[in-house]
Amino acid sequence: MSSVRVLVGTRKGAFILTADGARKRWKVSGPHFAGWEIYHVKGSPVDPNRIYASQTSGWFGQIIQRSDDGGKKWNTPGSTSEELKSPDGMPKGESNKFVYDGVPGTHQWYDGTQHPWEFKRVWHLEPSLHDPEHVYAGVEDAALFESKDGGASWNELSGLRKHDSGPKWQPGAGGMCLHTILLDPQDPQRIYVAISAAGAFRTDDGGETWKPINQGLHSEYIPDPAAEVGHCVHRIAMHSLRPNTLFMQKHWDVMRSDDGGDSWREVSGNLPSDFGFPIDVHAHEPETIYVVPIKSDSEHYPPSSRLRVYRSRTGGNEWEALTKGLPQRNCYVNVLRDAMSVDSLEPCGIYFGTTGGQVYGSADGGDSWKPIVRDLPAVLSVEVQTLP
């Protein structure tokens, strides 16, 4: 019987929630890496037992953790006792070494001055669709790294950061983070990324060169609302069967592209607010998408203090509120950009975590919801693995 494993990153550790295909009774394990911020945990689609985690701390920096047994045991890659030292006696493990390629240069700071690129943390880990040893990392200050040895060492794909527009990129309120990495399942050379607040970018040559793909975005909060870069993209989602169709939750506005990001159009329609963070696509219906409206950029909680997921079955514009099982009064939590995910069971399951520490799950495509856990630390990320 199929089962699901929900990988939850929080402000104070990681948690793993497991259930069989009915998704009614859950086991909770954790906290893993107690006390550390876990920005993201994600499993390899090729080998679900291979899971990568971004463990980070304002004090002690960035750590990459890896499990090869589905999250029971964890190691910093390249640091096990068998492989501690190179022949000259120095440690090999460099799984937390993220060094920009060449002279890092500068980007725009909040006040418009130039500011040096400084590595802070890994926001998002995206395992390859083909090789469990190959994984991408989106980092703050914005750059894309990759590891081809299971996370033991990392190299920057610096064509992105060295794009001519780099000096114009600026941090959003959460920092200048590369938070979204989408791998095209039909074209291994094509990758999409999104950066707050620079916008969306695409490579068609495996990461050598990059193109801003922000045409059609309109952001009133920047000097040129239709600028090539500077847009605060919060999240992009794709269905694996239609990789040219992208759905975007921008700072304000829900957007859609049907040409691989070359152009975008707004599909916010009847949403009560088009501000929000996550966006995701139903596992079996490429035109069914989900967002969680948030009141505004300064009030990061649901409109009318009612936690509502909105579903569109028409790829945007027409939205319905999903409320059954979700708090409909006095609710002031947020749902962060990496904190929503779907399983691929039938019917499709949807999961999201809140800054109040709840992880909600729906086993019926969003029609009804139940809390899987209620009192975790603030949830930063939610990923789901569907296991055979």
Partner 1 sequence: MIRVVLPPHLRTLARVEGDVELDVNATVTQRSILDELETRYPMLRGTMRDHVTQLRRPLVRFFACGEDLSHESPDAPLPEPIARGSEPFVIIGAIAGG
Q: Can you give the binding site for partner 1, defined by CB under 8 A?
A: 33-36, 57-63, 76, 78-79, 84-85, 89-97, 99
Pick 105 or 188: Cβ nearer partner 1:
105
CB of 80 to partner 1, least distance (A): 10
Closer CB to partner 1, 3 or 153, in the complex: 153
HSE-CB at 65 with a 13 A cutoff on CA atoms is: 24
Minimal distance in Å, beta carbon 105 to partner 1?
16
Name the token pair of 257.
């592209």
With 0-12 / 13-18 / 19 or more C-beta atoms within 10 angstroms meaning exposed / middle / buried, residue 258 is middle
When the beta carbons of 355 and 362 are compared against partner 1, the nearer one is 355
Residue with tokens 């964890």: 74
CB of 107 to partner 1, least distance (A): 19
Rounded to 5 degrees, φ, ψ at 144 are -115, 125
Residue closer to partner 1 (CB basis): 78 or 293: 78
Closer CB to partner 1, 95 or 257, in the complex: 95
Tell me whether residue 78 or residue 260 sits nearer to partner 1 (CB atom). Answer: 78
Smallest distance, partner 1 to C-beta of residue 60, A: 4
| Shortest CB 139 distance to partner 1, Å | 14
Q: Pairing relation of β-strands 340-342 and 350-353?
A: antiparallel
- What tokens were used for 365? 């495509």
Tell me the closest approach of the beta carbon of residue 97 to partner 1, in angstroms. Answer: 5
Residue (of 30, 58, 63) closest to 377 by Cα position = 30
Specify the amino acid at residue 121: R
Cβ proximity to partner 1: between 80 and 189 the closer is 80
Q: Cite the beta strand spans of 79-198 per DSSP E.
A: 106-108, 114-116, 121-127, 135-140, 143-147, 155-156, 177-183, 191-196
Residue closer to partner 1 (CB basis): 81 or 298: 81
Residues 6+ apart with CB under 8 A from 62: 54, 55, 56, 96, 98, 119, 120, 121, 122
3-state class percentages of the chain: helix first, strand second, coil last, to nearest 5: 0, 40, 55
Closest CA to 240 of 203, 206, 284: 284
Q: How far is the CB of 98 from partner 1 (least distance, A)?
A: 8
Q: Least distance (Å) from partner 1 to the CB of residue 173?
A: 19
Q: Which residues contact 205 (CB under 8 A, 6 or more apart)?
A: 189
* Burial (CB count within 10 angstroms: exposed 0-12, middle 13-18, buried 19+), residue 220: exposed
